[in-house]
Amino acid sequence: SACRSFNSSQFSFIPTASTNPKAALKSKIVAEFRPQSLIDELLLYKRSEDQIELKEKQLSTMRVDVCSTETLKCLKGKA
């Protein structure tokens, strides 16, 4: 018949974390994962991106004579 029964000897062995170093490493990484540290890093990154965006907007609204060394000194002092 088209359907045949399977016995346990037809299935391949699936290595456990104790027999597979790669699986053990993945298991360790998952067990030691601390989402709060990732959240903190992402918040710092977002804050930094927001500061960059704000400074870009401030610069784009300023009319600056880039040939004026005095103006550039003033901008450098505000940075």
Q: What is the pLDDT of residue 1?
A: 47
Q: What is the pLDDT of residue 13?
A: 53
Which residues lie closer than 8 Å to 72 by C-beta, 6 or more apart? 66
Q: What is the pLDDT of residue 10?
A: 53
How far is residue 45 CA from its own chain's centroid? 9
Pairwise CA distance, residues 26 & 17, whole Å: 9
Going residue by residue through the chain (79 aa), what tens digit of pLDDT does each one get? 445 555 555 555 555 555 788 999 999 999 988 899 899 999 999 999 999 999 988 888 877 666 778 877 877 776 5
